[in-house]
Amino acid sequence: MEDANLSVGYVAKRTGVKVSTLHFYEEKGLIFSWRNHGNQRRYKRDVLRRISIIKAAQRLGVSLEVIKQTFNELPNNKTPDKEDWKALSKRWQNQLEERIQSLIKLRDSLDGCIGCGCLSMQSCPIYNPEDALESEGPGPVILNRK
Amino acid sequence: MEDANLSVGYVAKRTGVKVSTLHFYEEKGLIFSWRNHGNQRRYKRDVLRRISIIKAAQRLGVSLEVIKQTFNELPNNKTPDKEDWKALSKRWQNQLEERIQSLIKLRDSLDGCIGCGCLSMQSCPIYNPEDALESEGPGPVILNRK
DNA sequence: TTAAAACCTCAAGCTAACTTGAGGTAAAGT
DNA sequence: ACTTTACCTCAAGTTAGCTTGAGGTTTTAA
């Protein structure tokens, strides 16, 4: 009963993502399936958790590429269990923290700059990324709307 | 001397953006130029400030579309002066603040979730956007790298 | 048994913010 | 005068993360 074979439509309904997204994730190597007699995708139940993790990580600002790499680091590319998720989320939490700090820095520079209005390309802290904000940093922060 | 006619190459060098980007901004209606005898672009000096503002706003997470709209709201689509910039940056600072708060909320949920590991699609706060994070919210946070 | 619902593949489209390239003209340096 | 550098236009390509559509097959429900 535990390694049930779930259809793509069922998985879509349960996770709230579209069927096309599941196809897409599979193509990208983020999830896996086998085919039934009539060439239709079938999934193990753990795909649900895998997708939860993908979605959670995305909300933390982690790209699909990085998520995939992370999965690959787990023995046998297994779906992260409780302990794994603990480690992953700690790691991503740190990156989140860095991004928050960057934004706070930016907000504070802005405080200083409002009223100055110089916007000198050479010295304005709003314009200039010198302050580690972009230097090698954590990459784009993206919270997807909708 | 003040409304000098600057070449596209000069403006590119001074602002650190590529010539193709200047073409692009012009096409999008973010900056303006006239042509010399030989059909080459010429800019007023204030284009430098305009580009500074575009870049600054982008770092605050404002899209080109919104930047353009904002410029359009200024009388005669003039380049924002010190006072204008004060108002604009205040406005954008608020949006920045909201994004920071969203991320902090997310970080804190994460704190609670690490160790729990449930990731229930139905109840996990990391997965679920219920907490105003996505609801109509401030839109995508994007810090462009490079 | 038949019709609707679900599934399949593959190609192309979407958004943002640009970049690259081809093919040609103008301006500047020697 | 000649050559290099700068500039021009227009079309197409790039990245991420998907979505849409066409044309066809399989499953399921009545």
Q: Which positions 24-63 of A are in contact with B (Cβ < 8 Å)?
A: 48-49, 52-53, 55-56, 59-60
Nucleotide with smallest C1' distance to residue A144 CA? D17
> Where along chain B do its domains lie?
4-111, 114-146
Q: Which nucleotide is nearest to A65 (CA to C1')?
A: D16
**Contacts of residue A24, Cβ cutoff 8 Å, sequence gap at least 6:** none
Three-class SS of residue A43? strand
- Residue A140 above 50 pLDDT? no
For residue A113, name the pLDDT band (cuts at 50, 70, 90): low
Report, as an integer, the average pLDDT of B91-113: 83
Q: Which CATH architecture has domain B4-111?
A: Orthogonal Bundle (1.10)
What is the least distance, in Å, from the CA of B37 to any CA of chain A?
Answer: 31
CA A59 to chain centre: 6
pLDDT at B142: 31
Q: Chain-wide mean pLDDT for chain B?
A: 80
Q: Report the residue of chain B nearest A93, measured CA to CA.
A: B107
CB contact A16 to B (< 8 Å): yes
Q: What is the spatial distance between Cα B140 and Cα A142, in angstroms, rounded to a whole number?
A: 6
Instruction: Point out the least confidently predicted range of A11-25, A113-127, B18-32, B98-112.
Output: A113-127
Residue A38: strand, helix, or coil? coil
What residues of chain A lie within 8 A of the CB of B14, using their CB?
121
Instruction: Quickly state the pLDDT bin for A78 (edges 50, 70, 90).
Output: confident
Query: Can you say how many angstroms the Cα of residue A106 is from the centroid of all Cα atoms in its chain?
Result: 23
Is the C-alpha dihedral spanning A10, A16, A18, A22 positive or negative? negative
Q: What is the pLDDT of residues B22-63, one digit of tens each?
A: 999 999 999 999 999 999 999 999 999 999 999 989 988 899
Q: Which of A4-8, A127-131, B49-53 has the lowest mean pLDDT?
A: A127-131
Closest CA to A30 of A5, A50, A6, A1: A50
Q: What is the mean pLDDT of chain A?
A: 80
Asked if B38 CB < 7 A from strand C, the reply is: yes
